[in-house]
Amino acid sequence: MPTQIEQAVQLLQTGGVVAIPTETVYGLAACADQPDAIRKIFKAKNRPENHPLILHIANKKDLALYAKNIPSYVDALIQHFWPGPLTIILKKTDLVSPVLTGGNDTVGIRMPAHPIALEIIQRTGPLVAPSANQFGKISPTTAEHVRQDLGDSVDLIIDGGRCIIGIESTIIDATNPDHAIIVRQGLLSASDFNEVLGSNLVNTTLDSSISAPGNLKSHYCPEKPLKLFSNQKELDLISEKYHHNCYVLPLSLAVKNFQYTFQMPNDSADYAYQLYFQLRIADGSDVAMIAIEPPPDTEIWGGVLERLKKASANH
């Protein structure tokens, strides 16, 4: 009997799409040199074809095969943060198919820190892998979530347990030789990067010409309405509107009188770990809406806040 990893490698090499665990969220993978397999990913996710995919590699030195004009600060960042939850956007080389970049001349590259993902990539070569969910919805942090979202449209789902980070990687636009711009926040923030670089090269305040999910107002959405509250009074108002039929995820408030509730952790990494996981539980429950208390608007909470703002934008 072939192992799951052997099966995955075989399927990927023959044009299949396979859901794989990474340390951030589950990804829906295809071989980067197989445009037809990449098109299957867009179809399975219902994703617009101009929305670029991240290229996942297993060796730092491969960066130079797929990206050019690499600023020296990028070398310092990958030495420190790869493998890990950092995606770097750079000018692409001719080896990168425009099918995966949505026709852009840039490519987003990351080396994931999950042993299963790394072993598969070592054997197949680079994989493209967006989050393994329906476009615009909550990313999956377990194999079961992938099954619920994509089920039959994937050839194999590898169960690697729950993702330890729980939200997607931080994405930086590194196409400028002098500075980088964060285009999607994640667990790693500008000060993590700047501490390693010893200067303020990475920032969030400049506008990037790169368009990323940050530019969509609504993303990461549960099915049920999601509302943010920051004090008891706001929670009471929301709750009344939905006849107290709410799933409540407080952070600092001690919430009473709700049947369905989960206290979110008061640490940004722990909160991120729980965020999508708890939203999925709430979404699958028998209530009318979800109310969540966002963390303070400070840098370490940036990744979580960005997701909460977008997830609640439509409601």
Pairing between β-strand 67-68 and β-strand 86-92 as defined by DSSP bridges? antiparallel
| Distance in Å, CB of 52 to ligand TXA, minimum | 4
Q: Does 22 bind ligand TXA (CB under 6 A)?
A: yes
21 binds, among Mg ion, ligand TXA, none (CB under 5 to 8 A by kind): none
Q: Does 226 bind ligand TXA (CB under 6 A)?
A: no
Please compute Rg for the chain using Cα positions: 20
| Distance in Å, CB of 230 to ligand TXA, minimum | 28
221 binds, among Mg ion, ligand TXA, none (CB under 5 to 8 A by kind): none
Give the separation between CA 63 and CA 79, rounded to whole angstroms.
Answer: 12
CB closer to ligand TXA out of 17 and 238: 17
Where in 85-124 is the site for ligand TXA (CB under 6 A)? 85, 87, 89, 101, 104, 106-108, 110, 112
CB closer to ligand TXA out of 146 and 282: 146
Query: Reduced to 3 states, what is the DSSP secondary structure of residue 259?
Result: coil
- Nearest Cα neighbor of 287 from 255, 239, 236 is 239
CB 170 within 8 A of CB 300: no
CB atoms inside a 10 Å sphere around CB 287: 18
- Nearest Cα neighbor of 90 from 173, 169, 32 is 173
Query: Reduced to 3 states, what is the DSSP secondary structure of residue 65?
Result: helix
Q: Does 176 bind ligand TXA (CB under 6 A)?
A: no
Query: Which residues are CB-neighbours of 229 under 8 A, at least 6 positions away?
Result: 235, 238, 291, 292, 293
Residues that contact ligand TXA, how many (by CB under 6 A): 28
Q: Does 52 bind ligand TXA (CB under 6 A)?
A: yes
Provide the token pair at 282: 């709430």
CB closer to ligand TXA out of 16 and 27: 27
Q: Which residue is nearest to Mg ion (CB)?
A: 131
Q: Does 131 bind Mg ion (CB under 5 A)?
A: yes
Of 212, 228, 300, 313, the residue at the interface with ligand TXA (CB under 6 A) is 212
| Distance in Å, CB of 255 to Mg ion, minimum | 30
Query: Reduced to 3 states, what is the DSSP secondary structure of residue 293?
Result: coil
CB 56 within 8 A of CB 85: no
Residues making contact with Mg ion (CB under 5 A):
131
Residues forming contacts to ligand TXA in the complex (CB under 6 A) are 22, 24-25, 27, 51-54, 85, 87, 89, 101, 104, 106-108, 110, 112, 129-131, 168-169, 171, 210-213
